[in-house]
Structure 1
């Protein structure tokens, strides 16, 4: 029998809306003052393999088109099981696992940092977040072939997470969160030959900005620009403070290797005879590229905090507690 969460409800988004997530570090602003809008769903843009979200081409308040990425729910226990094994300390509150590891918040933090640094050109742009009404959440479910008999809302007596939005009992009453992005009509999925050399340079730029993307696949690029940051870690992030240097290095190496594997696969599929890795990435694959030392955790996130001392106290004393011996 499915396990029922015995934990209290995770906090719902504030009303009126505030930038999210509400912890030290970058945040994403709401798209409208209320974080609500009239949405016209035009066309499904996602894939059956997508695990975290549903992406649609939409008009919003009569304007558009935009790409709207609507996120499924994750329990804090699941996020803790996935990522907590790398932490030397336990996060002090269940909500912190959502703040730092939930795909929606991961993307909010990346886009917030790009805006802070005025580097939004590094990715397909985000315009802010929205909260779907219950009617809009129902509409998406119905458009994608789910009936009222297949639970997609808060109606069932107990929510086990096995529904259209993966909503668990701890999310009861929470709206579906979505991020409004630029709709790219002519870039094409992935990248072309002229864009290949820039991919590694862009990843190094992300690292300089305190961002480890961590999920490099052909489906996460449009027109040579990244569109998906649901696995990204952006400082301040506990994984850079409360894990070993070797774990951070492992993740840096895995990200680079993902790009190397992707490029070789792309070259084979598109018949790029005589393909060679871009110079910097080739050096990296041979252990000769100093970019391995570009540790995102060294980024000075405090410079953006209105009260740097309070932010530091938060992450030092409130955020984590020692794991039981």
Structure 2
């Protein structure tokens, strides 16, 4: 029976499914693996089920050419924490869990759009602090969402799901930027650059994958192009955004607000961001629903099952 390491505690249903197929060991800690632990795991296990924060870098794979591990079945759609080229170089397959995360992540994007536009976080803080003096006609006026323009940067599965919610649920106009031509089944316009999207949108939503190609894709140029009444939303990866440029845009009032579920140096969130009232901060809740995490885990287990059965895993990325 193949020996598999689960690098974090997972839902019971996922653990049971893995145990039915493999000899498993599950870490009790919710902290990322350290480099030495990753090297040890590559030597000791036939497969590893890692997740966000387990930084399988080129240095980790440097001495792994003849290691026991043959597959990293990532728990999550994003896999920029794994150097897939280095893994492939030592004969290790990498898989991910697309599809299962799409709707949950799109829902969090809508949560952030609404919270940022309607100043929900700020209002809750005021109420909890005992500073609410009662309703009045000019209190905490925010931005009406219905009928506005949303700009999607990255029209993949998640970007498309967000655009659908905005268009059909809130009557919003949709503009978007995608690296390749992409058509959608409702009225929307594809624009040439993120800056062009930023100039037209009331809400700029980032939904691109992480990695070296998209690091700091969103920076001063995008924020400078945005309307001063516009809001910025990130549900992608933290390092897609130049966090310092975002902080400067928020502090100066260059943009009206932001809603963030991810950060450049997770779990560290700069004090400058935490001090701002015009930003909504969530602790990476994108897929945090039990049925979604179960679906992700079962998909990761099925990738392992297929691989060790001699089949091509359903979600092979390298």
- State the TM-score, normalized to the length of structure 1: 0.25
Flag the structure with more relative contact order, 1 or 2, with Cα contacts below 8 A and sequence separation at least 6.
1
